[in-house]
Amino acid sequence: MIKFENVSKIYPNGHVGLKNVDLQIEQGEFVAIIGLSGAGKSTLLRCVNKMHDISSGKLTVNGVNVTQLKGKEIRRFRSKIGMIFQSFNLITRTTVLGNVLVSLVPELSWWRRLLGVYPATAKIAGLKALDNVGILDKAYTRVDQLSGGQQQRVALARTLVGDPDIILADEPVAALDPVTAKIVMDDFQRINREMNISILLNIHHVDLAVAYADRIVGIRQGEIVFDGPTSAVTQEIIDEIYQGHGSSSIKGSLEPVAAEVVVDA
């Protein structure tokens, strides 16, 4: 369980990234965080795995007080939290399998790290993760020869090989075309349902958020202004989250609501 209790985040320059956030996410939930650019979506996500430190309040993940983690504890803590970025963050000149196995490097002995020699068990785990996201046949292809969608699936496989409890995804489909975005969102949904991994995902496309997530959290200027099941989301709520910015002219329109994808001009 991820639990924010009255959490605020103030950046060193005084900017308030999060303000009095109360949020509880149970294991296995699929939550989409929506809001205008600069609303605080990434800040919220990055506090969960301590990429950002909170300024006040309390943040616990599976009972662990995140603020109190130090040194090696942080690495161990993060090993159960996968992170996916818009830009994939892969080593482009390495094979797909090599990228997936990178996440296991901290657990390997120094000589294996030095030589890049992975035990058979690690390789099998890596290949299984690739199979899980439908790109097993690309295992020995260099990452820079893959499409954007395939690269994001490599990133997803890299998180899966660590057997995470939680996956944080920061705009994972923003760089993808609508069809590929849907394929990647299908992967997230399947992984969430089949593996009971909590998914916390920032997304600009409200239609995709509503089509895939179980729960929507709306953020405006660092504050949560909506938190509820996807079924409760209305155009009025979307307008409230994107207040003052004419949601139908940005990506915050509920039309169409279903899995059909709005092309980002």
Ligand X SMILES: Nc1ncnc2c1ncn2[C@@H]1O[C@H](COP(=O)(O)OP(=O)(O)OP(=O)(O)O)[C@@H](O)[C@H]1O
- Specify the residue, 108 or 237, whose C-beta has the smaller distance to ligand X: 237
250 scored as a contact of ligand X (CB under 6 A): no
Closest separation in Å from C-beta 250 to ligand X: 11
Figure out which of the listed residues 31, 40, 101, 205 binds ligand X, where binding follows CB under 6 A: 40
Figure out which of the listed residues 2, 23, 30, 43 binds ligand X, where binding follows CB under 6 A: 43
173 scored as a contact of ligand X (CB under 6 A): no
150 scored as a contact of ligand X (CB under 6 A): no
Query: How would you list the strands of the sheet with 64-65, edge to edge?
Result: 16-25, 2-10, 56-61, 64-65
68 scored as a contact of ligand X (CB under 6 A): no
- Specify the residue, 51 or 136, whose C-beta has the smaller distance to ligand X: 51
Task: Give the count of residues interacting with ligand X (CB under 6 A).
Answer: 13
- Specify the residue, 21 or 261, whose C-beta has the smaller distance to ligand X: 21
Closest separation in Å from C-beta 10 to ligand X: 9
Report the 3 state secondary structure along the chain. CEEEEEEEEECCCCCEEEEEEEEEECCCCEEEEECCCCCCHHHHHHHHCCCCCCCEEEEEECCEEHHHCCHHHHHHHHCCEEEEECCCCCCCCCEHHHHHHHCCHHHCCHHHHHHCCCCHHHHHHHHHHHHHCCCHHHCCCEHHHCCHHHHHHHHHHHHHCCCCCEEEEECCCCCCCHHHHHHHHHHHHHHHHHHCCEEEEECCCHHHHHHHCCEEEEEECCEEEEEEEHHHCCHHHHHHHCCCCCHHHCCCCCCCCCCCCCCCC
Figure out which of the listed residues 6, 15, 259, 260 binds ligand X, where binding follows CB under 6 A: 15
Contacts of 74 (CB under 8 A, 6+ apart): 50
21 scored as a contact of ligand X (CB under 6 A): no
Query: Which residues between 178 and 217 bind ligand X (CB under 6 A)?
Result: 202
- Specify the residue, 41 or 78, whose C-beta has the smaller distance to ligand X: 41
247 scored as a contact of ligand X (CB under 6 A): no
42 scored as a contact of ligand X (CB under 6 A): yes
Which stretch, 41-49, 70-78, 97-105, 232-240, contacts ligand X (CB under 6 A)?
A: 41-49
38 scored as a contact of ligand X (CB under 6 A): yes
- Specify the residue, 35 or 149, whose C-beta has the smaller distance to ligand X: 35
User: Cα(167)–Cα(197) distance, rounded to whole angstroms?
Assistant: 7
Rule CB under 6 A: which residues touch ligand X? 11, 13, 15, 17, 35, 37-43, 202
